[in-house]
Amino acid sequence: MSPEDHYAVLGVDRDASREEIEDAWRFHLKAFHPDRFQDTDHRGRAEEMSKRLNAAWQVLGDPAARRRYDRRRPSVTVNGAAAAAPARRPREIPCPTCTTISRVEDPGGKELLLRCPGCQDQFAAIVGASLVERPRLERRWWRIDYRMLLAADDGEGHIVSFRKLPRELSLADGMRISVVFRAGTDQPAYAIAHHGGVDMLFPVR
């Protein structure tokens, strides 16, 4: 296994300033504070994430330690390609009907049509898109929805409307998100926040 990418954990670029790094660390520490999560599984992941955030800050927040870390880690970057690279890994997408997991290669924010290996339902999922801006409430003529604007790596955009978003779901601009739709509909069933190798799954209806 390759060593932890502290930059990916904090969601910052390799050339981020110390202020940017501290800012990201504080933001994510708050977002992943275990007390915010009711679900035991989420809470466990949040604890794991907090540890990794602190480990990253210990290295990247200390100029001498950061220089040593930068020297040691292999340079895989060409024009910032490495920033996107850790995000491109298989994603675990639950079936909206029976929750059986499908493992799919991250298509970089494209919409996929998947067939559940369990119940054979066919459903759509936007996988590995990046959040353009935090969801905003929008009044439609009969109700109020959250609208989320997602972008694929090739620039293609998706607008997704949610009736509700769980309060625990902290979303920051640029965050990697997947959305699973109910079989045969365009109604979101799950939102999945991917962050630093940890996936947090939230039912959204």
**Segment contacting Zn ion (CB under 5 A): 41-49, 83-91, 120-128, 196-204?**
120-128
DSSP-derived letter for residue 87 is G
User: Shortest approach of Zn ion to residue 128 CB, angstroms?
Assistant: 21
Write out the binding residues for Zn ion, residues 121-160 only, by CB under 5 A: 121
Contact 135, 147 (CB under 8 A): yes
Which of 94, 196 has the CB closer to Zn ion? Answer: 94
**Residue 182 binds Zn ion, judged by CB under 5 A:** no
Nearby residues of 158 by Cβ (< 8 Å), 6 or more positions away: 109, 111, 126, 129, 149, 150, 151, 152, 179
- Please count the residues of this chain forming the interface with Zn ion, following the rule CB under 5 A: 8
User: Cβ distance 127 to 144 under 8 Å?
Assistant: no
Which residue(s) pair with 177 in the sheet?
A: 129, 193
Helix (H, G, I), strand (E, B) or coil at 46: helix
CA–CA dist 191, 57 (Å, integer):
28
| CB nearer Zn ion, residue 97 or residue 161 | 97
Q: Which of 116, 131, 160, 200 touches Zn ion (CB under 5 A)?
A: 116
Each residue 75-104 as x (binds Zn ion by CB under 5 A) or -, in order, gives --------------------x-xx-x----
Q: Is 118 in the site for Zn ion (CB under 5 A)?
A: yes
Chain contacts with Zn ion (rule: CB under 5 A): 95, 97-98, 100, 116, 118-119, 121
